[in-house]
Amino acid sequence: MWRKLLTILSAFLVFGVANQACAEDGYDLWLRYQPLDSAAKAHYRPVLTNFVVPNARPTIRAATDELQRAFKAMFGYALVQRETVMHDGTVLVTRADSPLLKGMDLPFARLGKEGYLIRSATIGGNHVTIIAGNSDVGALYGTFRFLKLIQTGQPIDKLDIIDVPKLQVRVLDHWDNLDRHVERGYAGQSLWDWQKLPLYKDPRYTDYARANASIGINGVVPNNVNGKAEILTAEWLEKVKALDDVFRPYGIKVYLSARFSAPIELGGLKTADPLDPAVIAWWKAKVDEIYRIIPDFGGFLVKANSEGQPGPADYKRTHADGANMLADALRPHGGIVMWRAFVYAAENPEDRHKQAYTEFQPLDGKFRDNVLVQVKNGAIDFQPREPFHPLFGAMPKTPLMMEFQITKEYLGFATHLAYLGTMWEEALEADTWRPGKGSTVADVIEKPVDADAITGMAGVANIGSDFNWSGSQFDQANWYAFGRFAWDPQSRAEDVARDWAHLTWSNDPAIAEPIVRMMMRSREAVVDYMTPLGLGHLMATGHHYGPGPWVADLARPDWNPVYYHKADANGIGFDRTRAGSDALSQYAPQVAAEWGNLKTVPDRLLLWFHHVPWDYRMRSGRTLWDELVSRYDRGVDEVAAMQVQWDAFKGRIDQRRWEEVRDFLAIQHREATWWRDASIAYFQSVSKRPLPAGHAAPPHDLDWYKAIRTPYAPGRGE
Ligand code: BDP
């Protein structure tokens, strides 16, 4: 009787657990390791029965732990672990110098520090799979790639793969404050529970590190660029060290945002002048202290003289003076400085588009070689669409790193489905024409300015305490894509989307392919319903939530949307040609010629560079006004189409994630309509044109939209 009860009970438990495993919530990201069906198991088993752990170095251990975790989840039982001797079906995760690889002619010379190879081979008569790099982290990256092959149902019996990252520093910038508020964060609070660190290390830190390592991210800046100096005190450095201890096995270095005035705030000095000997000595001592606590510390990220942050200009010094002083302190330890070029001076009446170039370009060649200048993809500020930043290609003697924003400050926060891979691809494949045709932004950031120069890419993270990490299921794709583009800036957005869709949703093409199509069109939809035809910076004040094209009363001219669209009775758009601000002259002549000419400028950048009459005839044959209205509607229609597509997946995707996406799409549709209606109501009040036939009038008058207030929208700035 008892035995019977136990059987029933255990059956219930097993059933309960299995059921739970099916109830996905997004926590597992793209590392879901779904159980394989018996055909797939039978297919893989001969190649995958055991693995060798030749040593217990932490990174190799992390790799084999991952292998085991994945194997258990996908196959339902553990791999056999061996010490050295190999058998058929062994996976060998190791380094180039392993005695087990002795006498084999493997192409390690091509792998650099972090690259890997995956090779099906025969050793001592046994069929084995070698996953190896010159470093342990190479082997770890290879392991994740190997697992991806299985997750996506690829064959693994005749492998010959080599992959090497094209950029060295692949870093996530968290805009997280010490009180856990995340500036421009829409995924809950900061992941870093500073209050409980260093003694309590949330297991999520390990899962975060796994996710990063799986896509090759090798650096983390845990604190905001608008940072407090306290992070540099001994008490906080101990907390940072605790994070670093978790991240190290995953090949991830910790960097810190450094507040330029820290010598005053923490050191009690009267100045932070980068040429002052006491300031230099303070930073040197501080850096030495950091390395005593965190020996593999990566270096500093600095936002200086931008949006109220202190910096070298406070002492009439240049950005190079400031960056070099920190670089000198870091150099003996191998640390670097990532110095941001996102600057626009408070009193400068120059077109904001031009200011970073004006300030930085003359400093080309003046930075120490352990400084990277970190440049946003566009010259204004992460808008849904911007032309590439004119600094790319214009500082050939200075390592420039790309800064993308993964968090969607300007693309609908967490709820709008907007895959950013297409936006980044557009920026990276843009031709700078410097020095000549075919020199894309990707080429500029990839090609070291000299043999030892550093290269890199930074992404402003979209990660927080939400169970799904990124605020929405689809925003995980942007974290994933960032890693892929940082690894290889020539990646194709569609391939990346497809990989992600397979890993995250399903290997069934009937599900994955429509998802890829949704993703590929999604960013353009946002552009259409928020800022079509090259418009930009039209959002409401402060939190940047919702439309505010009418805003004209902010302290600085270039904080006001009216500054950007310049709509008046005659037309709309910012004239950046020679007749206007001449920002175009900061680009190579060929680029300036193409974009400066109404006949050749692409529609997508028209109003970014030109002020155009409302009745201007577009390529479509419509007037500019009619085209503008139809773009707004096209954007909203696209969201409606995504809703229809998603509804068709009902019952074919796990319930909880499906419902979340369905509801978020409904929010997106409502907000897209709000953007469309408010923008049309406003621009019509200026253009005084009737709406083209077939396009509905906004349901409310302009004042109604202007009166909308959302003071508690998340992610506010500091
Ligand atoms: C803007 C954000 C602001 C950031 C700033 C930056 O609105 O919160 O501090 O960029 O990049 O996009 O420093």
DSSP 620-682: TSSBHHHHHHHHHHHHHHHHHHHHHHHHTTTTTS-HHHHHHHHHHHHHHHHHHHHHHHHHHHH
Tens digit of pLDDT for each residue in 141-193? 999 999 999 999 999 999 999 999 999 999 999 999 999 999 999 999 999 99
Q: Is 545 in the pocket of ligand 1 (CB under 6 A)?
A: no
Is the domain of 615 the same as that of 632?
A: yes
Rounded CA separation 9/15 (Å): 10
Per cent of the chain over pLDDT 90 is 93
Calculate how far, in angstroms, residue 176's C-alpha sits from the geometric centre of ligand 1: 12
Q: Is the pLDDT of residue 17 over 80?
A: no
Closest CA to 657 of 478, 509, 499, 515: 515
Calculate how far, in angstroms, residue 4's C-alpha sits from the geometric centre of ligand 1: 64
Q: Is 530 in the pocket of ligand 1 (CB under 6 A)?
A: no
Closest CA to 63 of 165, 152, 133: 133
Catalytic residue among 238, 350, 381, 637: 381
Q: Is the pLDDT of residue 7 over 90?
A: no
Domain final residue, candidates 137, 163, 189: 163
Per cent of the chain over pLDDT 70 is 97
Give domain status of residue 591, yes or no: no
Tokens of 189: 């609070």
Calculate how far, in angstroms, residue 459's C-alpha sits from the geometric centre of ligand 1: 13
Give domain status of residue 290, yes or no: yes
Catalytic residue among 160, 307, 495, 568: 307
pLDDT tier for residue 222 given thresholds of 50, 70 and 90 = very high
pLDDT at 347: 72
Atom of ligand 1 nearest to the CA of 410: 12
pLDDT at 123: 92
Tell me: cis bond preceding 435? Omega within 30 of 0 counts: yes
Rounded CA separation 466/456 (Å): 28
Give domain status of residue 521, yes or no: no
Beta bridge partners, 219, equal: 171, 253
Tens digit of pLDDT for each residue in 586-641? 999 999 999 999 999 999 999 999 999 999 999 999 999 999 999 999 999 999 99
Atom of ligand 1 nearest to the CA of 376: 11
Tens digit of pLDDT for each residue in 321-365? 999 999 999 999 999 999 999 998 767 789 999 999 999 999 999
Tokens of 563: 């500054």
Give phi and psi for 208, each to the nearest 5. Answer: -60, -45
Is the domain of 451 the same as that of 331?
A: yes
Q: Is 381 in the pocket of ligand 1 (CB under 6 A)?
A: yes
Is the domain of 281 the same as that of 214?
A: yes
Q: Is the pLDDT of residue 475 over 70?
A: yes
Is the domain of 307 the same as that of 255?
A: yes
Burial zone of 216 (CB within 10 Å; 0-12 exposed, 13-18 middle, 19+ buried): buried
Give domain status of residue 590, yes or no: no
Tens digit of pLDDT for each residue in 655-712? 999 999 999 999 999 999 999 999 999 999 999 999 999 999 999 999 999 999 999 9
pLDDT at 86: 84
Give domain status of residue 245, yes or no: yes
Is the domain of 147 the same as that of 187?
A: no
Give how many domains the chain has, as a whole number.
3
- CATH number of 37's domain: 3.30.379.10
Q: Is the pLDDT of residue 470 over 70?
A: yes
Is the domain of 179 the same as that of 58?
A: no
Q: Is the pLDDT of residue 18 over 80?
A: no
Mean residue pLDDT of the chain comes to: 95
Q: Is the pLDDT of residue 502 over 80?
A: yes
Catalytic residue among 66, 114, 273, 409: 409
In 102-153, DSSP assigns E strands to: 116-123, 126-133
Q: Is the pLDDT of residue 440 over 60?
A: yes
Q: Is 409 a catalytic residue?
A: yes
Is the domain of 147 the same as that of 209?
A: no
Q: Whose CA is nearest to atom 4 of ligand 1?
A: 717
pLDDT at 22: 58
Q: Which domain holds residue 65?
A: 28-163
Is the domain of 212 the same as that of 359?
A: yes
Tens digit of pLDDT for each residue in 106-155? 999 999 999 999 999 999 999 999 999 999 999 999 999 999 999 999 99
Is the domain of 533 the same as that of 499?
A: no
pLDDT at 227: 87
Q: Is the pLDDT of residue 19 over 50?
A: no
Q: Is 409 in the pocket of ligand 1 (CB under 6 A)?
A: yes
pLDDT at 652: 97
Give domain status of residue 426, yes or no: yes
Give domain status of residue 523, yes or no: no
Q: Is 210 in the pocket of ligand 1 (CB under 6 A)?
A: no
Tens digit of pLDDT for each residue in 28-81? 999 999 999 999 999 999 899 998 877 789 999 999 999 999 999 999 999 999
pLDDT at 55: 74
Beta bridge partners, 300, equal: 256, 337
Please state the separation of Cα 713 from the chain's center in Å. Answer: 22
pLDDT at 646: 98
Q: Is 381 a catalytic residue?
A: yes
pLDDT at 251: 98
Domain final residue, candidates 130, 163, 196: 163
Q: Is 608 in the pocket of ligand 1 (CB under 6 A)?
A: no
Q: Is the pLDDT of residue 289 over 80?
A: yes
Give domain status of residue 511, yes or no: no
Is the domain of 500 the same as that of 566?
A: no
pLDDT at 5: 40
Beta bridge partners, 119, equal: 130, 160
pLDDT at 375: 98
- Up-side HSE of residue 22: CA atoms within 13 Å toward CB? 10
Calculate how far, in angstroms, residue 680's C-alpha sits from the geometric centre of ligand 1: 27
Q: Is 225 in the pocket of ligand 1 (CB under 6 A)?
A: yes
The model scores a pTM over 0.85: yes
**What value does the mean pLDDT take over residues 458-478?**
98
Q: Is 184 in the pocket of ligand 1 (CB under 6 A)?
A: yes
Ligand 1 mutation target, pool 340, 342, 403, most atoms within 8 A of CB: 342
Is the domain of 480 the same as that of 541?
A: no
pLDDT at 2: 41
- CATH number of 547's domain: 3.90.1330.10
- Is the CB of residue 704 less than 8 Å from the CB of residue 445? no
Domain final residue, candidates 135, 163, 191: 163
- CATH number of 263's domain: 3.20.20.80
User: To which H or E segment does residue 171 belong?
Assistant: strand 169-173
pLDDT at 83: 82
Is the domain of 349 the same as that of 431?
A: yes
- Is the CB of residue 361 less than 8 Å from the CB of residue 398? no
Atom of ligand 1 nearest to the CA of 718: 8
Q: Is the pLDDT of residue 1 over 60?
A: no
Q: Is the pLDDT of residue 292 over 90?
A: yes
